[in-house]
Structure 1
Amino acid sequence: MLVKKKYDVLIKEYEQELENNSADYQLLYNLGKLYEIKGMYEDEINVLGRAIDLKPDEPLFHVALADAYVKNGLNSPAITTYNKALSLDERNIQACLKLGVLYRDLKKLDDAIIAFNNAIKINPDCSYAFLNLAQIFMDKKLYDVAIMNLKNSLQINPNYSYAHFLLGKVYEEMGNYGKALLEFNKVKLINPDDIYALSMLGYIHLKLGNSKKALKFCRNAIMKDPNNVYAHLNYGIILLNLGDYNDAIVELKKVLNINPELVDANYYLAIAYNEMNMFDSAINALEKSERKDHRTFMMLGQIYKKKNELSAADKYFQKAVAMNPLDGEVYFELGYISKSMGKVNRAMELLEKAIELSPENHKAYNLLGDIKSEKGDYDDAVKFWKKSDELRPYEKKTDYINDDRKDLDGDIQRLRQALIIEPNSTRLHYELACILKNRGYIDEAVMEFKKVLELNPNDRHAQYYLDVLLKNSGFYDEEIEKWEKASTKKPDDINVLYNLGKAYSKSGNIERAILEWEKVIATDSKMYDAYVGLAFAYKAKGDSRKAIDNFEKALIIQPDNRDASLNLAKLYKNIGHLDEAAGLLKRMVKQENNYDFNFQLGLVYKMMGKFDISLVYFEQAFKYEKTSVDLLYNMSYIFLKLKEYEKSLLFAEKVIELDKDFGPAYYLIGNIQKIREKDDKAVYYLSKAVEKSPEDQFSYYLLGITYKNMGNGPDAIKAFNKAIGLNPDDVYAHTNLGMLYYDNGNLDLAIKEFQKAMIINPEDELVLYNLGLAFYDRKMIENAIAIWKKKVNINPNDPYVHYNLGYAYEEV
């Protein structure tokens, strides 16, 4: 009924019914839910309050009223009302979860922990509660506890992509990039829409030294979402690390256009500017970064040193040493500055301190040698120079800069030195601006032309070149210019403001777009397009909550809008709100039965572990699109889970027909062949899987199992070691490797692997049983007894362990 009739019509019908039957609390509740869909939260609060007056002992009504309070920003009454629902039904898990989320949003983290733990007591299989607990412990930097909760969440629901994403983030923050890579790869496979996972894969590959893959993932993320701030940030950092400073600057500027609050982008921008000797731009970027750490002060000191502004350099190096008094490099820099300022004795003290902290610092020995030489202490000077030569690493210098560029760089340094003496010379600033322009240092050229115009506002040549540079750099945009002119004539015209925001968004200036669209909303709170624009803008900035809020407001205005519904559902899915995603998509699929809604519903139910329902929607999607690799792979996966092996095989083969490099499809086929005990075929496909996806731990593990079953111990050992290299916490790989060593008679290595497995999972019965056997055969009988007793405590009904314990006691 809700789908077929318009909400306004339904609201009128319900209101008329209530005139005749004002005591119908169920009707009041239904009317409240309709008011919620339309965004009429005050009316919703009113009718739900009336429903509660008529039936005060109904927890459902209290939860709905608390939800309405939250939507209206009334947090205190919301908390009270959720607690009232729990007083009526202490097992109301929805009230627990919603109360926990509200406490978490209000930064009342301890109260949130209590609420989520209560939800787990009600339902120990509530993966969403474990995930929320993990997020709280991540905020508290308690990473081990966060990992434990995320693993609990994934044990309940292995396809919960957001839990894998958060686990990847925890590992990344801990510097464990290998494990982070595994988790982000799982996200990519489970949820192909997750742009943030693609971006993080780029960043992780950079950290692991794989620049090609890093670039590939970030470019892929940007192709899928051209305004995604983290994709551009990670891409900029990758380019910076590769020494591609010009392109890095372009990407990092895009980041700041999208989200000026992401101040880390300014820090990386400063590094790029500094590497290109664009010192004023670097200083400006560092100031905007608002960072007050050791590295920032160090960089500022080095920049001012290059600019020959020694007092400023000394000041920042002093700040750096205050932040980290054990950094020998800072003492060297201070020593260098002191020598340059004629403070020789101070320089010697600082250089000696540099050597004390960093005995390998050849530059400090060399500079001490220079000072001693100047003082006439030639024997000491020679000693220091010799020491410097011993420590100096052999460096083969490759010069890729052509002679013309060298000459230009020399002219830049000459003009900068001249400007220290004559800072107000328009001629020197103009010459420097022209050389910087020719050298490609556009930002610094712009700054120099502006200085010329400050000194002489009538300099037409400087004005001409400044206009050209700004236009070529994208500072001028015809569309923006057109709508800005229109907005000066019609400052209150919402269509003009909307189109100005659209022009800014198109040019990548997301922050300005947001500003214009907020003006539209302030003038007309019913403009659908402005809410959608804001939703996409906040999504680009990485602010999922504000993006969701604006999509929801857009759907209040146009409840059946396809694009807003689809994008909102994807956002819900990507941040782990699977019930909300499913509810919205099911409503939309009744109105428009198409590929996108069915495919997304299939993914959502797959993430919930409801494979039979997932398959229904994937099969519907297949009617509309028969060549989507993502769909075909997911169908193959679901058929495998449902043990329909022929169909799984058929769809995996279709994937390979379309994309012969799609490693996970080979894994599925290898898995099916292993299940069918066709080991030779399994080895072939699993070998293909690891060839196409070298980071695929599961393929290596399954390959190891297959080789082990075939009696091929050496290859099995290699495969298990590969799996462990990718994931050192793979308890099954350690266990199987231990069993292989045991069978080979290599008891010490077997014990070592079983012990590693036991550290990961102290209650794994197979590990305990086999470790006991290895200890027993190694004549470490007391150890064997202790381990087997532990297994008996876990499972007292295992006859084999009792039998072995009997033998062990006889030995004693």
Structure 2
Amino acid sequence: ATTIYQQGLAQASDTRDIRLALAAAFRSQQSYDQALEQFNAVLEETPDDADVFAELGVTYQAMGDQTQAEEAFNQIAQQAAADPRKIAQALTKLGNTYRDRGELAAAEERYQEALTTDPSYLGTYLQLAFLYQQQEKPDEALAIYQRAVEADPTSAEARFKLGQAYRITGDLDLAAEQFTQAVTLDPTRYNALLELGRILESQGKTADAIEKYAAAVAVNSFDQNARLLLGTAYRKAGNLDAAVEQLSKVLELNPENVEGAVQLGQVYISQNRTDDARQILEQALSVAARPGPVFFLLGEVARLQGDLPAAEQRYQEALAADPTLVDALLQLSDVYQAQGNQEAATQALDQALQGSSDDPTAVAGALTKLGNTLAAAGETDQAVERYREALTANPAYAGAYLQLAALYDSQSDPDAALAVYQDGVDALPDNAELHFRLGQALRRTGDAEAATTEIEQAVALTPNYWQARLNLGSLYEDANLLVQALDQYSQTVQLAPDSADAQFRFAQALRKSGQSQEAIAAFADLLEMPGGDAFPGAYLQMGLAYEALGQDDAAERRYLRAIELDPQSATAMYYLGDLYRRQGKLDDAISNFEQALAIDPSLAEASLQLSAAYRDSGDAERAQEIINQLTNDAAASPAVVAQAHIQLGVMALEASDTATALAQFRAAKKADPTVVGSYFQLAQILLQQGKPADALKQYTAAVEANPASAEAHFELGKALLRNSDDPRSAIDELEKAVEINPGYVEAYLQLSQALVLAGQENRAEVLLNRALKLAQRPELAARVLVQRGELLRQAGETGAAVSDFEAAIDKDPRNLAGYIGLGETFRDRDDLEQAISQYKRALLLDENYADAHVKLGNAYRDAGQYDDAVASLQTAVELQPDNAWYQLLLGDALLAADQPADALAAYQQAGEIEPAYNQDPSYFIRLAGAYRASDDVEQAMEAAKEAERLAVATGDTGEGALLVQAELQRSQELWQAAIDLYQTVLELNPERSQAVRGLALALEGQERNQEAVVQWRAYLKLAPRGEYIDEAREHLRRLVNSTG
């Protein structure tokens, strides 16, 4: 640098800045004489240059010549009178000179003069506040830093220093506010992030502190203190792997960082990596100025490895290095006790108590250890006294609460234990373990809601507390909150990948939420864990998952493997029997159910299924006998008794004994109102009796009795959809169903239909996409694809619709709706040949599928194959002779096939089947068409007038009926009557092209050709691709030629 600056001096005309830079470079090399030479050279050119005098003063200070430095600074004050900032800078530097010489009063005087000269100069505030801090005047320093921020609110340095001052005076909230402002103004100021982290950690907000420390490390990854703070916070939060990563980096940056080694040693001990801990700690011993904590941790390593003599030696070395290390005495007591030396153990505890008289925490720790010793010896009353004394010494000592409550639990006194845990939480609201233990205690009392609140708080305080997350997931699962349960189990598995219990619960929750394929994969992971292959429960759950996928053979193999591992597993026998019953292997099913009951007679589910199997095999007497035993079993749970009554009710329905069935279903509700099956059965009976409103009440009662039942919300949603034109209430219930059970594909299908009715087609498609991901059985996936295909077809996206229908058929070739959907889509495209082919494919699978015959008939009619259309629709009517709609469609086909008499008979039959048709204008228009085709104009006109009357009575215009009347009048060459009717129709609807055509023809009949020309031209504009376009052009050509 000096070489380049010297080259610049030789070339530049204005050398001031180069000389100043060269002088500064010489000064940094401690070449003070050369630096002074350059500064003086500048002064020769600009004698009043205050900046140069300031640099001279700094140089003299560096040389230790305070007199010359002071003289230079005084020179600035004399020469820079016109510039207050330079005077303030000079006075500040002069104040620094006095401060460095120990003349603190003179320094303060100069700083105050500087502030009087230029109150906006930030440097003076910072130096004066620092002076006050040196003098241990925190209040005065705080006031000056506050003035500094007022002088320059945008200064990150000023806000950082003010934050530190607030922290020193104990005002942490204001300190955090200033540190946050400092980071906002200067995101690279990582020390402010560290300060924020310290404050948050002191407030028990470890997770938030970690976020700040991590941000600081991201700014400066080479700061060992930042990594030490981050690693220590990770250790406190239980994230041991992350702690190891950060603390190892500390030692890479500085192998002699003893605190980093101590923290890393503690982490290794927590991970049971005792050899790694010993290696790190022994390395730290060689450089530790205060080796007491290192010796202590080495004692912990030896104790954990079972080397009690080595542990004793290390604890003694720790005490020799630091006699106040009470923890060493406490652990030494444990070692003596383990060695059977009760006298030495008691002596060590007494020493700990004496040595910690000024430290409440140490006293509480010693008393708690003494309580543990007494409890282990069976002297529980004295142990309780010691724990109570510990809490008196330090009410914030968590260990005493935990040990005292655990002692009460061991004595089967849950109320006392619960009270202690509650006291602990009240005293230490930020202690995650106390919240967790209180939650567990509350759960044991049956207060699941309060338990959930406490364990949620434990997780919030320590997000990596996997045991708390595991228990929280279980609580959510019990409450049917499967989404929340899955979230907790998933995070638990990540935090504790070696926990078989966590993996099992995660996989089981996946299965319960309908994610069978994912559940199987998770159970497979469990089986690969050490000892996992011998876990019968995993095979049972895998079997259930395979059943949900329709893979019965795979399910059977898993159940058999579970029985092989545990031949006395009644549950495995039950599941296998249930599979056999569903497959129709009733003898095998009965055998397995009976074996399950022989192992565990209290397995009520097996009794229920055994009864059902006997009923399926035709032995109703034996079935009823088993169920009666259950209903009379005093030991049976209310839910089991309710299920038994439901089964009795089903058996009564099969015997056509509705009264008995009703009585049984009501008895089921009384036995256990939360078993929703009884409500569903009652609702079905009411629906069959034509009482939909009463049925709806049953579904509503089911939801009220068991609001956590996804099935209850689903059934209520379906009922509301049937009973109301407004789908919003149905949507609410169906959304609750999928919220409770996110894998409920049937609910997604119903919810999608409801959303379509509400005009929310886009959201309906989104839900069908989600259902398709969840539908892992091919048959169910095919149904989802068909419903989505129909939604796309209705939206006019025929290409995507065809893809969905074809995919549905690939997944389930027997899905008739897939073929029908394809046919309808091709019919929309006017590809009638393909449409007819698809309807025929459906009929090959089920020749009695009436709807397929109807759609085939419609397609034939569209194609002009009227005889085929009649044949197909006649088949549909034969299959469902009471279907009035099919009769109407048959009449339409017969009329198109020029069979008006038969068409009229079909229409009349439809009217007899469905009396409501006699109040429908369109029905009489059909009749009018049939009468007209039969040349019975009088009857046709009567029917058309009735259609008009009905339409007007319902508030309609009746234009369709009027058009039919006009056509009839024209067919009788009653031209003026026809013209009047056509004009009335066009007054009601000027866009009615058929009326325009009829009017033109009637005008021609009266030889009003010019007016006819006007109407034919109007027809061409209204219907440029209409059915009669060629006719209109021919009439226009002829009329124009004749009229000119």
Shorter-chain TM-score range: 0.3 to 0.5
- The TM-score, its normalising length taken from structure 1, stands at 0.39
- The TM-score, its normalising length taken from structure 2, stands at 0.31
Q: Which has the higher relative contact order, 1 or 2, with Cα contacts under 8 A spaced 6 or more apart? A: 1
> Which entry has the higher C-alpha Rg, 1 or 2?
2
